[in-house]
A and B are shown apart, each in its own frame.
Chain A
Amino acid sequence: AQSVTQLGSHVSVSEGALVLLRCNYSSSVPPYLFWYVQYPNQGLQLLLKYTSAATLVKGINGFEAEFKKSETSFHLTKPSAHMSDAAEYFCAVSEGIQGAQKLVFGQGTRLTINP
């Protein structure tokens, strides 16, 4: 069964600094990978997705993620953090075409931005 591990339940960066949120996955077949963001008292919103096309995926709000099969990783980055990026971020995996309907989420990483 597929699984996701997010390293670091809390990450704190200064405004303008690089944001790096780590995600490693386990999957027996080529995966589809996603990053979602959750703002307080809201549902999850899609940031970006990897679906076996380009390994570097660009998403909304300046975020991007790189799929590295050899490292089974899909880390999320943003060059310069903004105060509005403070939220909880979830990495998720689904398995191929047959399993594409079922996502498994990581535990989430809470991102704090310091002024």
Chain B
Amino acid sequence: DAGVIQSPRHEVTEMGQEVTLRCKPISGHDYLFWYRQTMMRGLELLIYFNNNVPIDDSGMPEDRFSAKMPNASFSTLKIQPSEPRDSAVYFCASSFAGGNGANVLTFGAGSRLTVL
């Protein structure tokens, strides 16, 4: 299994531009999570999906952020327009809610976003 695949690994863009981050979860996993990591705020859960349906988006910071999961093998996180304070590492993670209910997340390598 190739694990959770994220692209791009690095993105440098200018303020005001649209940014799209992509994620391919592990096949068979039914949960997908988007996290943001910064020095100041640590790891923050932005949104998560179950069976492609958004369950909790309370962590999405503003309307500039949106996430979709059109099918079980693909998700996007979009920022439009981007701002310098959006600079962070964005992680996608997926999991399968097994019988004991413990949700073990498998993380991708992350997408490092720099907004100038």
Q: Is the CB of B50 within 8 A of A43?
A: no
Residues of B within 8 A of A104 (CB): 45
Asked if B4 is at the interface of the complex by the 8 Å CB criterion, the answer is yes
Task: Given the known inter-chain contacts A51-B100, A97-B101, please indicate yes or no for A107 contacting B91, CB distance below 8 A.
Answer: no
* Secondary structure dominating the interface of B: strand
B107 to chain A, nearest CB (A): 3
Bound: A41/B108 CA distance, A: 11
A73-113 CB contacts (< 8 Å) to partner B? 90, 94, 96-97, 100-108
Binding site for A on B (CB under 8 A): 4, 31, 42-43, 45, 48, 50, 55-56, 91, 93, 95, 97, 100-110
Binding site for B on A (CB under 8 A): 32, 34, 36, 41-46, 49, 51, 90, 94, 96-97, 100-108
